[in-house]
A and B are shown apart, each in its own frame.
Chain A
Amino acid sequence: MASLWEYANPLKFMRTTERILPAVSALAALCLVGGLVWGFFFTPDDFRQGSTVKIFYIHVPSAMMAVNIWVMMLVTSLVWIIRRHHVSALAARAAAPIGAVMTVIALFTGAVWGQPMWGTWWAWDPRLTSFLILFLFYLGYIALWAAIEDDDTAADLTSVLCLVGSVFALLSRYAVNFWNQGLHQGASLSLDKEENVADVFWYPALVCIAGFILLFVALVIVRTNTEIRARRMRALLARERGADA
């Protein structure tokens, strides 16, 4: 069994991931299309929420991904700080915009669902507020990457920002809870509490969650490999300029 650290070699990482990429993308597309079509066309309406329950096939997976992508960035940042593997730092960079998009999707679908159900587009409810703050963290992280020229410096600084940001994001989560007890229902789709949700809604939702995870994996592969290539190109160009001078 090959060690996970072998994939710290960019070439090996690229070769392996590009071999599995078509399968992952195909599976992601299959699950997403399948899950969403199933959820959209072939599930009944909820007796209280009407057809808006269909929004949850997008809202729940995107909200889960928005948080989990930040956790993934935290892990890869730690790997970069401790073991200095470039692939790890670049994967964190590649994941951030996807996380930001997921946060926007979760916020938007939440607002659109909240309008008819709570009677308001936006409420300063703890969960909504935390997501907004999470979105700001994503923006800051992406902006810091974009602002720094040198790749290694940028990787170091954004990693530290990600660590400190994680602590403060957690603090904000609790602070916001304290600040306003909200109207959002608890997580009704966690794996251990599946009795909360009827099977008709549960199975398509599971497929959608799998689809979002696979989509994320495929996107991270594409984007990380892009970053690896871009980094190599910058190194080559710098060497050329050095040779000319």
Chain B
Amino acid sequence: MPDLGKYALEVLSAYGVSLVLIVGIVLLSVARSRRVRAELEAVEARRQRNG
């Protein structure tokens, strides 16, 4: 851990919040991608069965 001096709180919170936001949007995007992919496969399968 580097010595951040008197600004440790500022630097750490900047990194923390930014990382949380980035990870958040990545997770949201991936989750939605998974869900939509699964739903689409279900719909496609139903269509194949019903002709």
Contact flag (A, B; Cβ within 8 A): yes
A108 in contact with B36 (CB, 8 Å): no
The total number of A-B Cβ pairs within 8 Å is 91
- A51 near B22 (CB under 8 angstroms)? no
On chain A, which size bracket covers the interface? 35 or more
Chain B residues touching A, majority SS: helix
Are the C-beta atoms of B29 and A229 separated by less than 8 Å? no
Q: Is A189 close to B, CB under 8 A? A: no
Q: How far is the CB of A53 from chain B (nearest CB, A)?
A: 9
Given A105-B21, A112-B14, A116-B10, check contact A50 B33 (CB 8 Å): no
Task: Report the minimal beta-carbon distance from B14 to chain A, rounded to whole angstroms.
Answer: 4
Main secondary structure of the interface of A (DSSP, over half): helix
Range for the number of chain B residues in contact with chain A: 20 to 34
- The residues of A with any CB-CB pair to B shorter than 8 Å are 32, 36, 40-41, 45, 50-52, 54-55, 58-59, 62, 97-98, 101, 104-105, 108-109, 112-113, 115-116, 215, 219, 222-223, 225-226, 229-230, 232-233, 236-237, 240
Give chain B's interface residues, CB within 8 Å of chain A.
Answer: 2-8, 10-11, 13-15, 17-18, 21-22, 24-26, 29-30, 32-33, 36-37, 39-40, 43-44, 46-47
